[in-house]
Structure 1
Amino acid sequence: MPVEKKADTGHDYGIYTIGDDNFFAGIVAAINALKYYGYKGPIAVFDLGFEPWMVDYLNEYDHVTVLDMAPVTRHIRFTDVKTDESPIMRGWAYKAFAIVHYNLFRKWTFIDGDYLPLCNLEKELLPLIEAGHIIFSEDGWNTWGIEHEMATGVKPGNYMNVNAGFISLDMEEHGYIVHEWRNLMTRRKPFDLWYGDQGALNVILDKWEVEKTTLDKALWNQTWLNDEMARENHCQLVHDPDDIHVWYGPTNKRIMGWHGAGWYKLWHQAGIDHYRKHDATEREKFYKESQGKSPWPIVEIFEYFLFLDQFHTPLKRKGHLIAEMAH
């Protein structure tokens, strides 16, 4: 049976992430990286479908708690249509639903399960949060039209798009945005007007003219840059004794975080694939397709953190899978 563990809520700041068995590798690497770079606060992991041993493994970390999504999904319905389809699982809406339901931290950073932090997020972001900023990474542009105005009240025009896989804010300052984000995703029909949870979040921010504090997209990364940065080959893995990191030549600065590129996750690029574990042919084909989707130093530092033995019993590799090492 999975280990039951109460969430660590004794801190004003915490980190949320979410995943299932396919994203387990990404979440382990992210936790190890955060701890390596000095983060000592709580990490809440929303469980979308981990295997029982994965839940046990994550719960054995200090200050890490796995939270069941079942209480979040219970009795949640769309408000504008009658259907058995769940709002929770449509367009990645589970992020906002989980954050609002558990509401563990006043100040927080949310990262997708394929986001690899390469710094201490609290140290880098908390000063900005405390200054009243809501923080994202830029991810292109949106054009809202009359149909969006009729559905949500946003003024038509062109707006910067921010990615919903990396968010930092203070609930006292911007909690209304998170709650409206969650509430908007109980309306089925507007979802046809934008791209998933990211579009819903952006239309709310733009409706209320909320200032979006965006970080350097090359250093904090958004997915559409991954192929380009891999082709540039300007990333360098730096093996300082107490600070392994990736340096980005064009900016002469270190990369602070890396976000997965669509289907081509860092663990897929490293040959680890729980999603296709029963189909060797499809797995091999996808592995080849995944090559070159991120700079090689990023893949190498991901593997370093995935199998790091500093904070937990290390994982072991079993072919294309990973498993907990026997105690």
Structure 2
Amino acid sequence: MTQRQARSRYGIYTIGDENFFPGILAAINSLRYYGYSGDIGVADLGFLPWMRDYLNAMPGVVVLAIEPINRLIRFTDVKSDDQPVMTGWAYKVFSILYYDLFDSWTFLDADYLPLCNLEAELFPLIEQGHFVSSEDGTNIWDERHEAAIGVRPGSYMNINAGFISLDMEVHAPIIHEWRNLMTRRKPFDLWYGDQGALNAVLDKYEVPKYTVDKVLWNQTWLNEVMAAEGACELIEATADVHVFYPPKRDRLKGWHGTGWHKLWHQIGIDHYRKSDRQEREKFYLESQGKSPKAVVDIFEYFLFMEN
């Protein structure tokens, strides 16, 4: 596929491979269920052919090849044939800027399960010029980071937790500098992959970070706490299946998987260990209790939803 000439007003990006296919499929089905009708660009890091065909057959979904980007991009500060696109999750920003499909967009990690219509919830904030995401801990930049890119030393809120939303008319310079930083090998170890690099660029320019409620939109370190708490309720109302969270008196808006224990692992789907039954069963047991049962159940509901 080549780059498009005309961009849509708003769209959603995600990216993954064979191992993350269940998460991407559940997310697409969830988005459609909650009323999102716009385009979804899915960058292909290694789907099986049938997975690629399945996604391409879904209305409004386009699979984006990663190979053209790999051929074009090299590190800019060292002589190397290594591909920065595949280093430290950098493929996210490289894919977004190469295909350039949307004026405004939300990027979803492949292990993020949206539980609402993202356009309806986030686009009004994007229109106000906000850089929207969720709080995800703290970054401390020091003299090394200042020397590398010019960010002022200090402690800063870290954002991401599975998604970012923005308007390219407002924030394109940030996204382009984020991409450029991911082509530099020498300072790479200073960041926690792509997320650290993005936060460093935002902090360098003191861009305000608009954060949504980290409980309702899910900050990953709350997963097991909320699972043990047992407060989440699966509401199976007609035409409105959702997860209600009584402590907030509201429904969950999204869920981000914990570490390597993804929602699909918790229902026994594991493409990564498909050739080793013993390891697959062991990891399945390790994955139990990592997310509330209501969240696991609604993930399974969306994963196997008929299109």
Is residue 2:69 matched to residue 1:72? yes
Q: How far apart are 1:5 and its partner, in Å?
A: 10
Alignment of structure 1 residues 31-110 onto 2, 5 Å:
31-110=28-107
SS at match of 2:286: helix
Distance of aligned partners of 1:30 and 1:7 in 2 relative to their CA distance in 1, 3 Å threshold? farther
The 2-side partners of 1:18 and 1:206 are apart by 25
Separation (CA, whole Å) in 1 of partners of 2:170 and 2:31: 25
Letter in 2 for 1:275: Y
Q: CA deviation at 1:10?
A: 6.4
Distance 2:115 2:45 in 1: 24
Offset of 1:83 from its aligned partner? 2.4
How has the CA–CA distance of structure 1 residues 92 and 276 changed in structure 2, closer, same or farther, with 3 Å as cutoff?
same
**Separation in structure 2 between the aligned mates of residue 50 and residue 5 of structure 1, nearest angstrom:** 19
* TM-superposition CA deviations, 1:118-150 (whole Å, max 9, x none): 000000000000011010111000111011100
Verify: 1:208 aligned to 2:210, yes or no. Answer: no
Q: How big is the shift at 1:163?
A: 1.6
Matched, 1:219 2:213: no
Is 1:282 matched up with 2:279? yes
Shift of 1:97: 0.4
Task: Say if 2:276 is the partner of 1:246.
Answer: no
Letter in structure 2 aligned against 1:37: Y
CA contact (8 A) 1:138 1:162 kept: yes
Closer, same or farther: CA 166–23 of 1 in aligned 2, 3 Å: same
Instruction: Normalising by structure 1, report the TM-score.
Output: 0.91
Aligned to 1:25: 22
Change in Cα spacing, 1:152 to 1:10, as seen in structure 2 (3 Å) is closer
Please report the RMSD computed on the Cα atoms of aligned residues, expressed in angstroms.
1.5
For 2:187, the equivalent position in structure 1 comes to 190
What is the identity percentage for the equivalent residue pairs of Structure 1 and Structure 2?
A: 66
CA displacement at 1:65 relative to structure 2? 0.5
Equivalent AA in structure 1 for residue 243 of structure 2? V
Letter in 1 for 2:228: R
Q: Name the counterpart of 1:323.
A: none
State the number of aligned residues.
307
Aligned residue identity for 1:28:
L
- 3-state SS of 2:84 partner: coil
| Unaligned segments of structure 2, at least 5 residues | none
* 2:129 partner letter: G
Distance across 1 between alignment mates of 2:292 and 2:222: 11
* Matched residue, 1:272: 269
Cα distance, 1:80–1:8 mapped onto 2, change above 3 Å: closer
Q: CA deviation at 1:82?
A: 2.1
Question: Using the alignment, how far apart are the partners of 2:268 and 2:5 within structure 1?
Answer: 34
Give SS of 2:233's match. Answer: strand
More off after superposition, 51-60 vs 72-81: 72-81
Q: 1:165 to 1:74 in 2, by over 3 A?
A: farther
- Which residue does the alignment assign to 1:153? 150
Question: In 1, distance between residues paired with 2:91 and 2:272?
Answer: 20
Q: Please state how far the C-alpha of 1:165 moved relative to its aligned partner.
A: 3.1
Q: Give yes or no for contact 1:8–1:64 (8 Å, CA) kept in 2.
A: no
Amino acid at match of 2:279: E
TM norm structure 2: 0.97
Report Cα offsets for 1:24-62 as digits up to 9, x if no partner: 101110000000000100000000000011011001111
Aligned residues of 1:227 and 1:292 also touching (Cα < 8 A):
yes
Distance 1:125 1:48 in 2: 27
- 1:236-277 deviations in whole A, cap 9, x for unaligned? 000110100001121111000001111001000111000110
Gap regions ≥5 residues in structure 1: 312-327
Alpha carbons 1:7, 1:65 under 8 Å: kept? no
Amino acid in structure 1 at the alignment position of 2:287: S
Mapped partners of 1:173, 1:70: distance in 2: 29
- Cα distance 1:83–1:106, how it changes in 2: closer, same or farther (>3 A)? same
**Cα distance, 1:7 vs structure 2:** 7.2
